[in-house]
Structure 1
């Protein structure tokens, strides 16, 4: 006969979700935490729950013939603890519980719930297997679930993606600020230099944001570009200026509080012309804006945007907040992919990028050399190689462009990994002394 402890230890390695099974009796609502829940049939819709014979909820379900299951979210551990008897207190206090068709209550902000009538009850050792016919179901929230594994509750740990892509959204603007009229002395960057650097980025496989007014679309006609470009538009009428452009991306800034006014018109007009669209939400990681940002993500996904970009604001985002926001934002956006624009502040840029990679995001907006304070393109790709994440970007071409940018800039760039990749010739005596 197998040892009971060995049996529990083996089963503990099978991860499950965590639910609260509730029922109704003459003196009110009752419930308990359970992980022994399983679907049985789609037609008719049947589920089962296994309850120990000695517990009070078992007797009440057997007598009432009804039960409901509320599946808990990653941030509802305390509810699970209360209904498991680990924490004292009124089990139904402090949260919104709503009776459904059978009278059994469900958690209003659960990730999902089922309302059931018992149609079969089978003996299962010291448990009873109650099979319920599902009367109603709901999915109030879209976020990561609470999991039970190895006798502990935790969150879903997403695997690293197989591939990562980047787009440069900062270099063109910085170069434009450095341009001298007609390229006259003492120009630090000429228009020819700027066009050459931007073309090098696109050749390396990096989608590059261009300036519709000055840098790129005036100097590089859209009809003959290689297609790996984007522009920011603020008015639907501007889309007409891209006539003849191919394989480009239109970016539009959407107000988190009401993102679907001008955004909808630009998205529709761009789609009509065969152009992809990225809707951007600014200051997306400010904790006070979490609800507005999540609602905006859901609405933008409904507009048919190709991608939704979340931009970090002036306050540095913390890895914990990035993780918590993305777990819900990714779920709300599906199937529309998210992309991030992060800052390299206080050493948190790559940490936040890694957090995002573990949260289901693998598209990033960067800047060559990190010269605008954004995440450095070369550094992020270096991180990807260390994590065995592939990228369609030619990193050697990117490093070459960064080396040329440093020459034009006349100073060491914030990003440093390209200097290692480019070889010791770039390591100067000033670098050895720590001169910035």
Structure 2
């Protein structure tokens, strides 16, 4: 049986039940600040904030009539709402009076006076600075409607949430589907030499199974140009090669860029293929290095502005003598919580390795943090997460992929035959597209 529900309409609901009900509603967290002509600053953490109108721009906050903030906002006639990011839990607790020994709440964080004089947090997820326009009674609270005088979004980050009387972040739902590209198989086969025709048949079979395949740059030098069906990209090093690839009919070109926050190389490639219908995939080199986190985020934003169709974050291979935190699911989660919103509507890809067996753990972490596109390598080609393992993980999670797992089995057998001279089962027969 379900839980009992109190339906007594003759009296108001008791305070305890009402608080429990409200606790089930997740909300953002903000710090409401105000300042008067005397320069006295005051702030408190609150979640009772909402938009009211777009024209004119109006918002509201609800303040308990018994608290100091209510007195000061009433007297000053101005307030600011600073929306907290996921990394502001400590600041939120400080302004909520939950940090013992604090005498000056503004001693932590970088605060500047806004247009009304109310303190604005310079690294907030967003802020609005308001002048009180209307005041309404609301039981033991007062509803202050503020006209927004100024506003800003200092950085793109996930918001801090309050739910069930605890601080948290956005829920991590699994995606309905993901796409998978093999960015290493063709390059590795070319480097290994061997039967070029069989290698071409194998890459065609992988593509026919539903995996996008990236071809190495030397494919641009082949004459005549290969047939270019869907799910094929080619690697280029500069704008000239990108233009050549677009002329040859490639529908996607991939260029590697440094995490320099500029994206100049990618911008030139985008300009070179403009109007051709060719998508530019910009790959950020060594993007999972914790020391490069801020630079990677700036680069993602620059690549989005440059007009790239996809942005890929590449995990670097292991370095002798180095023990870095690249493979940490915790670091990956933190990076993606900012990188995914920074990419906006541009698809964000992720090329993972399997350091210490964490490849699938990181893939799951990425899926739960907004990544829907992955780059892999058949049987771990090039040191990337094996394509077949990611497909298996998705099947166990009920996450759809365009990849037919049964069609990958003969591909694995053919790869084994190319490398070791014997096939574990029947030959691969790529479908005709």
Give yes or no for TM over 0.5.
yes
Structure 2 residue aligned with 1:375: 385
Structure 2 gap ranges (5+): 1-11, 319-323, 427-433
Structure 1 residue aligned with 2:114: 100
Distance 1:220-1:327 versus aligned 2 partners, 3 A rule: farther
1:146 touches 1:154 (CA, 8 Å); kept in 2? yes
C-alpha distance in 1 between matches for 2:70 and 2:224:
73
Q: Structure 1 residue 287 and structure 2 residue 298: aligned? A: no
Distance 1:156-1:256 versus aligned 2 partners, 3 A rule: same
From 179, 186, 195, the counterpart of 1:190: 195
C-alpha distance in 1 between matches for 2:258 and 2:382:
23
Normalising by structure 1, we get a TM-score of 0.89
Structure 1 residue aligned with 2:205: 200
From 57, 62, 71, the counterpart of 2:69: 57
C-alpha distance in 2 between matches for 1:293 and 1:40:
36
Give, in angstroms, the shift of residue 174 of structure 1.
1.4
Map 1:107-122 onto structure 2 (within 5 A): 107-122=121-136
2:63 touches 2:142 (CA, 8 Å); kept in 1? yes
Give, in angstroms, the shift of residue 117 of structure 1.
1.0
Runs of 4+ in 1 over 4 A off after TM superposition: none
C-alpha distance in 2 between matches for 1:76 and 1:329:
17
Q: Deviations over 1:310-344 (max 9, x none)?
A: 00123442101111111111111111110001001
Give, in angstroms, the shift of residue 207 of structure 1.
1.1
1:212 touches 1:218 (CA, 8 Å); kept in 2? no
Give, in angstroms, the shift of residue 225 of structure 1.
2.4
Give, in angstroms, the shift of residue 103 of structure 1.
0.8
Distance 1:219-1:173 versus aligned 2 partners, 3 A rule: farther
Structure 2 residue aligned with 1:210: 215
Give, in angstroms, the shift of residue 3 of structure 1.
2.1
| Equivalences, count | 405
Give, in angstroms, the shift of residue 220 of structure 1.
7.5
Distance 1:18-1:219 versus aligned 2 partners, 3 A rule: same
Mean CA deviation greater in 244-253 or 158-167: 244-253
Q: Deviations over 1:220-245 (max 9, x none)?
A: 724x2223211111122223433653
From 23, 33, 50, the counterpart of 1:38: 50
2:253 touches 2:280 (CA, 8 Å); kept in 1? yes
C-alpha distance in 1 between matches for 2:124 and 2:257:
29
Structure 1 gap ranges (5+): 180-188, 414-418, 424-436
Mean CA deviation greater in 268-277 or 169-178: 268-277
Structure 1 residue aligned with 2:271: 268
Structure 2 residue aligned with 1:132: 146
Give, in angstroms, the shift of residue 394 of structure 1.
2.1
From 337, 354, 370, the counterpart of 2:364: 354
Structure 1 residue aligned with 2:245: 242
